[in-house]
Copies of this chain bind each other. A is one copy, B any other.
Amino acid sequence: MYRQRIRHPKFQERVVSAEEAASLIKDGMVVGMSGFTRAGEAKAVPMALAERAKKDPLKITLMTGASLGNDLDRTLAEAHVLSRRIPFQADPGLRKAINSGEVMFIDQHLSETVEQLRTDQIPGIDIAVVEAVAITEQGGIIPTTSVGNSASFAILAKKVIVEINLTQSETLEGLHDIYIPSRRPTRQPVPVVSPESRVGFPFIPVDPDKIVAIVVTRKADSSSTVLPPDEDTRAIAGHLADFLKYEVKSGRLTNELQPLQAGIGTIANAVMHGFIDTPFHGLKMYSEVLQDSTFDLFDAGKLDFASGSSVTLSQSRYEQVIADLARYKHQLILRPQEISNHPEVIRRLGLICINTALEFDLYGNVNSTHVGGTQMMNGIGGSGDFARNGHMSIFVTKSIAKAGKISSVVPMVSHVDHTEHDVDILITETGLADLRGLAPRERAQTILANCVHPSYRDELGDYFNRAVVRGGHTPHLIEEAFSWHNNLRLHGTMKP
Q: Which residues of A contact B (CB under 8 A)?
A: 84, 86, 98-101, 104-109, 115-116, 119-123, 184-191, 193-194, 250-252, 258-259, 342-344, 347-350, 365, 370, 372-376, 380, 384, 388-389, 391-392, 412, 414-417, 419-421, 424, 436-439, 441-442, 467-468, 470-476, 478-479, 481-482, 485-486, 489
Q: Is the CB of B380 within 8 A of A474?
A: no
Q: Which residues of B contact A370 (CB under 8 A)?
A: 472-474
| C-alpha gap A198/B50 in the complex (Å) | 55
| C-alpha gap A478/B250 in the complex (Å) | 44
> A185-B258, A348-B187, A482-B478 are known contacts. Are A473 and B375 too (CB-CB below 8 A)?
yes
| C-alpha gap A193/B184 in the complex (Å) | 10
| C-alpha gap A144/B101 in the complex (Å) | 55
| C-alpha gap A86/B350 in the complex (Å) | 22
Q: Among A107, A116, A474, which residue has the most Cβ atoms of chain B within 10 A?
A: A474
Which residue of chain B is the closest to A417 with respect to CB atoms?
Answer: B419
Q: Which residues of B contact A474 (CB under 8 A)?
A: 370, 373-374, 376, 415
Distance in angstroms from A364 CB to nearest chain B CB is 12
Q: Is the CB of A478 within 8 A of B471?
A: no
Q: Which residues of B contact A251 (CB under 8 A)?
A: 120
Known A104-B438, A107-B421, A374-B474; further 14 A-B contacts with Cβ < 8 A: A109-B421, A119-B391, A120-B252, A121-B252, A121-B436, A122-B437, A185-B259, A343-B347, A372-B478, A373-B412, A373-B476, A375-B472, A478-B482, A479-B486
Which residue of chain B is the closest to A436 with respect to CB atoms?
Answer: B121
Q: Which residues of B contact A473 (CB under 8 A)?
A: 98-99, 105, 107, 370, 374-376
Q: Which residues of B contact A365 (CB under 8 A)?
A: 416
Q: Which residues of B contact A259 (CB under 8 A)?
A: 185
Distance in angstroms from A92 CB to nearest chain B CB is 14
Q: Is the CB of B419 within 8 A of A419?
A: yes
Q: Which residues of B contact A123 (CB under 8 A)?
A: 437
Q: Is the CB of A116 within 8 A of B437?
A: yes
> A370-B474, A391-B119 are known contacts. Are A104 and B442 too (CB-CB below 8 A)?
yes
| C-alpha gap A294/B470 in the complex (Å) | 42
Of B106, B115, B482, which is within 8 A of A439 by CB? B106
Of B184, B187, B478, which is within 8 A of A489 by CB? B478
Q: Which residues of B contact A442 (CB under 8 A)?
A: 104
Q: Which residues of B contact A415 (CB under 8 A)?
A: 474
| C-alpha gap A185/B416 in the complex (Å) | 31
| C-alpha gap A483/B231 in the complex (Å) | 41
Distance in angstroms from A453 CB to nearest chain B CB is 22
Which residue of chain B is the closest to A374 with respect to CB atoms?
Answer: B472
Some 27 contacts from A to B, beta carbons below 8 A apart, are A84-B439, A86-B437, A100-B471, A101-B468, A101-B471, A104-B439, A106-B438, A108-B421, A121-B424, A122-B436, A122-B437, A123-B437, A184-B258, A185-B194, A343-B389, A344-B347, A373-B481, A374-B470, A374-B473, A376-B472, A376-B473, A376-B474, A416-B416, A416-B419, A478-B486, A478-B489, A479-B486
Of B86, B421, B467, which is within 8 A of A380 by CB? B421
Q: Which residues of B contact A105 (CB under 8 A)?
A: 439, 473
Identify the 4 closest CB pairs spanning chains A and B, nearest first: A374-B472, A189-B189, A376-B473, A184-B350
Distance in angstroms from A403 CB to nearest chain B CB is 22
Q: Is the CB of B421 within 8 A of A478?
A: no
| C-alpha gap A191/B431 in the complex (Å) | 41
Of B109, B185, B481, which is within 8 A of A349 by CB? B185
Q: Which residues of B contact A384 (CB under 8 A)?
A: 388, 419, 421
Q: Which residues of B contact A417 (CB under 8 A)?
A: 419, 421
Q: Which residues of B contact A116 (CB under 8 A)?
A: 436-437
> A374-B474, A416-B365, A478-B374 are known contacts. Are A184 and B437 too (CB-CB below 8 A)?
no
